[in-house]
A and B are shown apart, each in its own frame.
Chain A
Amino acid sequence: MEALINMVLLTLMAIVTVGIIRMKSLFGVVILAGIYSFLMASVMVALDAVDVAMTEASVGAGISTVLFLAALYMVGKDDVPSARSPYVALALAVVVGAALVYGTIDLPPFGAADTPPNQHVAPFYLQNSIPQTTVPNVVTSVLASYRGFDTFGETVVVFTAGLGVLLLLRGRPKPREATVAKDDQEVLANDARTPGREDRA
Chain B
Amino acid sequence: MSESNTPKAAPVLRESATFDRLTIQEIQRAAETGIYDIRGGGTKRKLPHFDDLLLLGASVSRYPLEGYREKCGTDVILGNRFAKKPIHLKIPVTIAGMSFGALSANAKEALGRGATIAGTSTTTGDGGMTPEERGQSQHLVYQYLPSRYGMNPDDLRKADAIEIVLGQGAKPGGGGMLLGMKVTERVAGMRTLPVGVDQRSACRHPDWTGPDDLAIKIAEIREITDWEKPIYVKIGASRPYYDVKLAVKAGADVIVLDGMQGGTAATQEVFIEHVGLPILCVIPQAVQALQEMGMHRKVQLIVSGGIRNGADVAKAMALGADAVAIGTAALIALGDNHPRLDEELKKLGSAAGFYDDWQNGRDPAGITTQDPELSKRLDPVEGGRRLANYLRVLVLEAQTMARACGKSHLHNLDPEDLVALTVESAAMARVPLAGTSWVPGSQY
| A, B co-complexed | no
